[in-house]
Amino acid sequence: MTRHGDELTERLRAVSAGRYHDRHPFNVRMHAGELTREELRRWIANRFHYQRHIPVKDALILAKFDDPAPRRGWLRRIRDHDGEREGEGGIERWLRLGEAAGLKREQLLDSSRVLPGVRLAVDGYVNFCRLRPVLDAVAASLTELSAPDLMRTRIAAFERHYPWIDAEGLAYFRTRVDQGARDGQEALALVLEWARTPEEQDRAVAALAFKCDVLWSLLDAVERGNAVGPLSGGAA
Amino acid sequence: MTRHGDELTERLRAVSAGRYHDRHPFNVRMHAGELTREELRRWIANRFHYQRHIPVKDALILAKFDDPAPRRGWLRRIRDHDGEREGEGGIERWLRLGEAAGLKREQLLDSSRVLPGVRLAVDGYVNFCRLRPVLDAVAASLTELSAPDLMRTRIAAFERHYPWIDAEGLAYFRTRVDQGARDGQEALALVLEWARTPEEQDRAVAALAFKCDVLWSLLDAVERGNAVGPLSGGAA
């Protein structure tokens, strides 16, 4: 690792340490076992909106690579989420988490429970990956570096505090421990390779901060739920 | 097949019959054995610019699918071109075609022989897939339906007329006979499923016509070569 690589890695880790959504009050309550069943279901249904858009943002990033080599690695991310065949992959595992928590898969697939703030957060992230240079888009994915620890804590918290959710429903979290670590390291290597000038390094740091804000805003919206917002049917 | 499906299929086949680049004078001369070595190399190096952008346009199409199922099929196209690992895949096979024809792979990879008209044609196609709805982008890929026949004719023509190109260099064409047939049928099924209204059917037909124009323009530029255009160095 070069000196510049060490410094940039340190700056990126500082962003995650300060802004990653593990510190969000809703996540803190989730892991402390304080969520009601309805709150947990609301989170699962809304976070699914994020999950199902991961392959979309990854395809947009894929389209920014000039060479087969980096595409091969990034393609695996899409395959991880979509699966090789029907009934496999991360999106399917999230649907099963929903079922284990008492949600019908149609309730996730039809987006009926997705809150406006969650839609905006997800659209914002997808459009960031659509419109920004590849360095920014890949740097935004570096929240993966923090995901394995979050997943491990979450598995333990769910097993302890929400035993009404069948342990098989937690397969998504278990799979992401290793996938997240591998994806995060691969993306970090690309960012360190590309971000040479101070301006590029600032962009990488800003992209990761933006992504932390996306995840944080998503939890803000879930925490708020339907408590504040347009009157039901008011705009119909 | 429904009545509307039969009619649309017929309209799409009529577009290909009239505008597919197998009828382009340069392609006719290629298959008649009339190209010089330099003309053939010029075509290989310029067509490579198109080949290397196929996974890019396919990733942009991938990002338009909402569900894992169609993404799984489309992902395979990217894998076919990039290969599972270094040294495999359609892009690698095209580089070997270039080597068999006496071009160094660096001459293909550095784009130094790519003509302005070829750049414009490829950019036009990639941006069409970037900016248009998924129906249009997938319909534009339906030139694949005509590719297997073209590939079979081409293999025979190369073996007969250009024996100085090692037969192993033709592996790209051989592989595309089956891949093109499969890809074309899958894309046709999607287009027939989606294009229900007359307006949608017109859009599908127009998209295929556009794509034929892209391939035709590419050959126009290769045929013209450097004979007409800005003076070398004039803009430097």
Calculate what percentage of chain A has a pLDDT beyond 70.
94
Cβ–Cβ under 8 Å, residues A109 and B67: no
B56 CA: distance to closest CA in chain A (Å): 5
A56 CA: distance to closest CA in chain B (Å): 5
Write the CA distances from B167 to A212, B44, B180, integer angstroms.
54, 15, 20
Cα-flanking dihedrals φ and ψ of residue A195, to 5°? -85, 85
Contacts of A92 in chain B (CB under 8 A): 68
User: Chain B contact for A76, CB < 8 A?
Assistant: no
User: Chain A contact for B106, CB < 8 A?
Assistant: no
Subunit contact A89:B68, Cβ cutoff 8 A? yes
User: Chain A contact for B63, CB < 8 A?
Assistant: yes
Subunit contact A71:B82, Cβ cutoff 8 A? yes
How high is the pLDDT of residue B12? 98
A6/B232: higher pLDDT: A6
Per-residue b or e along B78-110, where b marks 16 or more CB atoms closer than 10 Å to that residue's CB: bbbbbbeeeeebbbbbbbbbbbbbebeeebbee
Instruction: Tell me the average pLDDT across B22-43.
Output: 98
User: Chain B contact for A75, CB < 8 A?
Assistant: yes
User: Chain B contact for A81, CB < 8 A?
Assistant: yes
The predicted-structure confidence for B188-227, as pLDDT tens digits, reads as follows: 999 999 999 999 999 999 999 999 999 999 999 999 997 6
Subunit contact B60:A55, Cβ cutoff 8 A? no
Contacts of B57 in chain A (CB under 8 A): 63
The predicted-structure confidence for A104-147, as pLDDT tens digits, reads as follows: 999 999 999 999 999 999 999 999 999 999 999 999 999 999 99
The predicted-structure confidence for B177-187, as pLDDT tens digits, reads as follows: 999 999 999 99
Subunit contact B71:A83, Cβ cutoff 8 A? no
User: Chain B contact for A69, CB < 8 A?
Assistant: yes
Q: How confident is the model at residue A236 (pLDDT cuts 50, 70, 90)?
A: very low
User: Chain A contact for B62, CB < 8 A?
Assistant: yes
Instruction: Tell me the average pLDDT across B227-234.
Output: 51
How high is the pLDDT of residue B236? 39
Q: Least CB-CB distance to A86: which of B56, B66, B69?
A: B69
Q: Least CB-CB distance to B82: which of A60, A72, A91?
A: A72
Six token digits for residue B6: 């039969």
CA nearest B64 in A: which residue?
Answer: A56
Q: How confident is the model at residue A227 (pLDDT cuts 50, 70, 90)?
A: low
B59 CA: distance to closest CA in chain A (Å): 5
pLDDT for B230 beyond 70: no
Q: Least CB-CB distance to A63: which of B59, B79, B81?
A: B59
Q: Which of B186, B144, B205 is nearest to B11 (CA)?
A: B205
Instruction: Tell me the average pLDDT across B120-130.
Output: 98
User: Chain A contact for B105, CB < 8 A?
Assistant: no
CA nearest B92 in A: which residue?
Answer: A68
Q: Least CB-CB distance to A68: which of B57, B68, B82?
A: B82
Degrees to nearest 5, angle at CA B16 with B13 and B17 = 85
Subunit contact B81:A92, Cβ cutoff 8 A? no
Degrees to nearest 5, angle at CA B85 with B82 and B90 = 30
Domains in chain A with CATH codes: 3-222 (1.20.910.10)
C-alpha span between B217 and B215 (Å, rounded): 5
Sign of CA dihedral A144, A215, A210, A9: negative
Neighbours of B168 (CB within 10 A): 12
Instruction: Tell me the average pLDDT across A155-171.
Output: 97
How high is the pLDDT of residue B227? 65
User: Chain B contact for A84, CB < 8 A?
Assistant: yes
Subunit contact A62:B72, Cβ cutoff 8 A? no
The predicted-structure confidence for B65-81, as pLDDT tens digits, reads as follows: 999 999 999 999 999 99
Which residues neighbour B96 within 8 Å (Cβ) at sequence distance 6 or greater? B168, B169, B171, B172
Subunit contact A72:B91, Cβ cutoff 8 A? no
Contacts of B92 in chain A (CB under 8 A): 68
Subunit contact B78:A62, Cβ cutoff 8 A? yes
ipTM of the complex: 0.90
3-class DSSP string for B38-67: HHHHHHHHHHHHHHCCHHHHHHHHHCCCCC
Sign of CA dihedral A118, A121, A125, A131: positive
How high is the pLDDT of residue A226? 79
Q: Least CB-CB distance to A63: which of B56, B71, B86?
A: B56
Write the CA distances from B182 to B119, B144, B207, integer angstroms.
28, 9, 20
Subunit contact B83:A89, Cβ cutoff 8 A? no
pLDDT for B229 beyond 60: no
Q: Least CB-CB distance to A56: which of B57, B63, B79?
A: B63
Instruction: Tell me the average pLDDT across A207-226.
Output: 97
Instruction: Tell me the average pLDDT across A174-179.
Output: 95
Q: Which of A71, A122, A125, A128 to mutate to test the interface with B (most CBs of B within 10 A)?
A: A71
Calculate what percentage of chain A has a pLDDT beyond 90.
93
The predicted-structure confidence for A54-98, as pLDDT tens digits, reads as follows: 999 999 999 999 999 999 999 999 999 999 999 999 999 999 999
Instruction: Tell me the average pLDDT across B155-163.
Output: 97
Calculate what percentage of chain B has a pLDDT beyond 70.
94
Which residues 164-193 of chain A have a CB within 8 Å of chain B?
A: none
C-alpha span between A81 and A100 (Å, rounded): 19
